[in-house]
Amino acid sequence: MRGDVTYPDGYENGYLCHYGILTPAEVEVVARELADIDKVDVLAMYVENGRVGDRLREDVSYVGYHLERAKEFVSRRAAAGEGIVYRIG
């Protein structure tokens, strides 16, 4: 996704959300790219970033669960030829 929250008055003083739109063609690309990601990739991300600890199994499971829900959602939108409006923050 493109975008990020912004902190006009500094990190401690709140943020402004980012809103964006993915066209139907962009949703198709995202669906294809998400389809290639699985829990092994999530685990690798944690290890590469040094985030290995007591909660690793739970963290990977949590992220993996939400990854699968995102994959389902995006693939349904792509199959329907729809775009997505999204918000970060």
Residue 14 lies in a domain: no
Output the pLDDT for position 3.
Answer: 66
pLDDT per 10-residue tile (average), the chain, 89 residues? 73 86 97 92 84 83 93 97 93
Residue 18 lies in a domain: no
Instruction: Give CA–CA dist 22/79, Å, rounded.
Output: 14
Contacting residues for 51 by C-beta, under 8 A, at least 6 apart: 59
pTM of the predicted model as reported, rounded to 2 decimal places: 0.75
Strand ranges inside the chain, DSSP E: 18-22, 84-88
Residue 66 lies in a domain: yes
Residue 13 lies in a domain: no
Residue 38 lies in a domain: yes
Count of structural domains, the chain: 1
Q: 37 lies in which domain range?
A: 23-82
Residue 52 lies in a domain: yes
Residue 71 lies in a domain: yes
Output the pLDDT for position 25.
Answer: 98
Residue 32 lies in a domain: yes
